[in-house]
Amino acid sequence: MLDIKFVRENPEAVKDNIKNKFQDSKLVLVDEVLELDKKSRSAQQEADGLRADRNKFSKQIGGLMAQGKKDEAMAMKEKVTASATRLAQLEEEEKNLQEEILKRMMVIPNIIDPSVPIGKDDSENVELERFGEPVVPDFEVPYHTDIMEKLNGIDLDSARKVAGNGFYYLMGDIARLHSAVLAYARDFMIDKGFTYCIPPYMIRSNVVTGVMSFAEMDAMMYKIEGEDLYLIGTSEHSMIGRFIDTINKEEELPYTFTSYSPCFRKEKGAHGLEERGVYRIHQFEKQEMIVVCDPSESKMWFEKLWKNTVELFRSMDIPVRTLECCSGDLADLKEKSIDVEAWSPRQKKYFEVGSCSNLGDAQARRLKIRVVGKSGKYFAHTLNNTVVAPPRMLIAFLENNLNEDGSINIPVALRPYMGGKEIIK
């Protein structure tokens, strides 16, 4: 959410940003906010004047009563009573105006970083760099569920009967591999100096609206019936929520966490859930990294975060590339985002396995995550990035480590987490 002062002083910049995100229907919100803000400040100014008069008259009434001027004192009391009625009206008006302003401000997108390429959707994202040589073996690479089924590692049919499309049973060495990757990712991030955390898997609505846009919320979140609770779509939600309405000491920043959680997503509007695959599913597990930092350090941390994911995937012999997300592909709260994509030998193309985002002070402003330092109070910056999210990541792992006989090589880094196994047969 933007600072109302910024909108007030830079309305054209806010409108240009909306246009760059191809959300022209939101342009009217800027003018509406400015008009409501004008009315709100006018009401506040009148209310402040009435409060000042009330204090002045109260002192005068006491003096008049002490002088025995009862009639004058009573006349002044009537003025105070009349102003109190008007003051109550103004306070109610101001409250309603602020609610209307907030409603619109929550929908106006965050200002994107100047380095973000302008584009309508993910088809216009820009490739930045490749890491590792993408290889296509001289044998046919089967569909990932066929690889898993040959190793007795997945049961989608039973899952479909139990929970519906978009769910799975992982078994045997594939299930063990799934857990091994998460354990390795956890230790990898701990070695980078991040604090390991397991957060709540449900959050309240005020946290949901603090960490994401309404459009994302509608497309992603599962609501717990009868309670003010939502299942998290990523641990970033509850990790950032941990700092709601806090004042943090500047010298204690940055806070760096790596968090594990199951994740639940409706995937509203997604296609292919009926396919025999685990690319886009309703339930998965993920290791995440989260940073709460001083604004001056957020760009530095952004670079560190996506590089961590690249390093992790390369340590498992998986070629990856990075993509700069264009303006139209950025969620409304994000200033800048880089996707990490893994190579698929079967499809002969890259696909997304992680996303690194700098949200500036957008989440902190909504959740009131403040910092106190030498220059006074200010809002923190928040960042997040996927370390690894199996089972989607398993698609890339299995395809890139597959042998012609259907066995799977285990990279050296993962072997301690697989009981020393070098190969899955």
Residue whose entry in the numeric block shows the structure tokens 């002062």: 5
What are 341-379's pLDDT values in tens digits?
A: 999 999 999 999 999 999 999 999 999 999 999 989 999
- CATH number, domain at 285? 3.30.930.10
Q: At what angle do helices 392-400 and 172-191 cross, to 10 degrees?
A: 100
The verdict on 352 and 294 lying in the same domain is yes
Among 74, 105, 136, which residue terminates a domain? 105
Its pTM stands at: 0.89
The secondary structure element, H or E, covering residue 423 is: strand 423-424
The secondary structure element, H or E, covering residue 222 is: strand 222-223
pLDDT at res. 33:
97
The verdict on 158 and 84 lying in the same domain is no
The verdict on 350 and 410 lying in the same domain is yes
pLDDT at res. 271:
55
- Per DSSP, helices labelled H in 21-155 are 27-66, 70-105, 144-150
Q: Is residue 113 part of a domain?
A: no
Q: At what angle do helices 298-314 and 172-191 cross, to 10 degrees?
A: 140
Q: How many CB atoms lie within 10 A of CB 380?
A: 27
Among 78, 105, 132, which residue terminates a domain? 105
Residue whose entry in the numeric block shows the structure tokens 């990898």: 188
Q: Is residue 111 part of a domain?
A: no
In contact, 340 and 355? CB cutoff 8 Å: yes
Read off the amino acid at residue 128: L
Task: Assign residue 406 a region (left: φ > 0; alpha: ψ between -120 and 50; beta: otherwise).
Answer: left
Task: Give me 27's structure tokens.
Answer: 């342009």
The domain tally of the chain equals 2
The verdict on 323 and 268 lying in the same domain is yes
More confidently predicted of 177 and 79: 177
Confidence of residue 213 (pLDDT cuts 50, 70, 90): confident
Q: Of 88, 102, 16, 15, nearest to 46 (Cα)?
A: 88
The verdict on 20 and 147 lying in the same domain is no
Confidence of residue 58 (pLDDT cuts 50, 70, 90): low
In contact, 155 and 168? CB cutoff 8 Å: yes
Residue whose entry in the numeric block shows the structure tokens 């246009």: 19
Whole-number Å distance between alpha carbons of 393 and 309: 12
In contact, 339 and 130? CB cutoff 8 Å: no
Q: Using the predicted structure, report yes or no on whether residue 274 has a pLDDT greater than 50.
A: no
The verdict on 65 and 133 lying in the same domain is no
Q: Is residue 145 part of a domain?
A: yes
Task: Give me 356's structure tokens.
Answer: 């690194």
The verdict on 70 and 140 lying in the same domain is no
399 backbone dihedrals φ, ψ, rounded to 5°:
-65, -40
Q: Is residue 115 part of a domain?
A: no
Which domain covers residue 42, as residue numbers? 4-105
- CATH number, domain at 57? 1.10.287.40
DSSP states along 294-356: -GGGHHHHHHHHHHHHHHHHHTTT--EEEEEPPGGGS-TT-SEEEEEEEEETTTTEEEEEEEE
DSSP states along 358-420: E-TTHHHHHHTEEEEETTEEEE-EEEEEEEE-TTHHHHHHHHHTB-TTS-EE--GGGGGGGTT
Q: Is residue 8 part of a domain?
A: yes
Whole-number Å distance between alpha carbons of 286 and 261: 6
What are 280-297's pLDDT values in tens digits?
A: 899 999 999 999 999 999
Q: Using the predicted structure, report yes or no on whether residue 71 has a pLDDT greater than 90.
A: no
pLDDT at res. 86:
83
The verdict on 148 and 86 lying in the same domain is no
What are 380-407's pLDDT values in tens digits?
A: 999 999 999 998 899 999 999 999 999 9
Q: Is residue 117 part of a domain?
A: no
Task: Give me 296's structure tokens.
Answer: 């001056």
In contact, 47 and 91? CB cutoff 8 Å: yes
Whole-number Å distance between alpha carbons of 76 and 80: 6
Q: Is residue 163 part of a domain?
A: yes
The verdict on 174 and 100 lying in the same domain is no
pLDDT at res. 76:
67
What are 224-257's pLDDT values in tens digits?
A: 999 999 999 999 999 999 999 999 999 999 999 9
What are 113-172's pLDDT values in tens digits?
A: 999 999 999 999 999 999 999 999 999 999 999 999 999 999 999 999 999 988 999 999
Q: Is residue 274 part of a domain?
A: yes
Q: Using the predicted structure, report yes or no on whether residue 74 has a pLDDT greater than 50.
A: yes
Q: Using the predicted structure, report yes or no on whether residue 215 has a pLDDT greater than 90.
A: no
In contact, 250 and 373? CB cutoff 8 Å: yes
The verdict on 303 and 401 lying in the same domain is yes
Count CA atoms within 13 Å of residue 149 on its CB side: 13
Strand 246-249 relative to strand 369-373, pairing: parallel
The verdict on 416 and 269 lying in the same domain is yes
Confidence of residue 48 (pLDDT cuts 50, 70, 90): confident
Among 105, 137, 165, which residue terminates a domain? 105
Whole-number Å distance between alpha carbons of 281 and 59: 69
Give me the chain's average pLDDT, please.
92
The verdict on 156 and 57 lying in the same domain is no
165-154-233 Cα angle (round to 5): 50
Read off the amino acid at residue 97: L
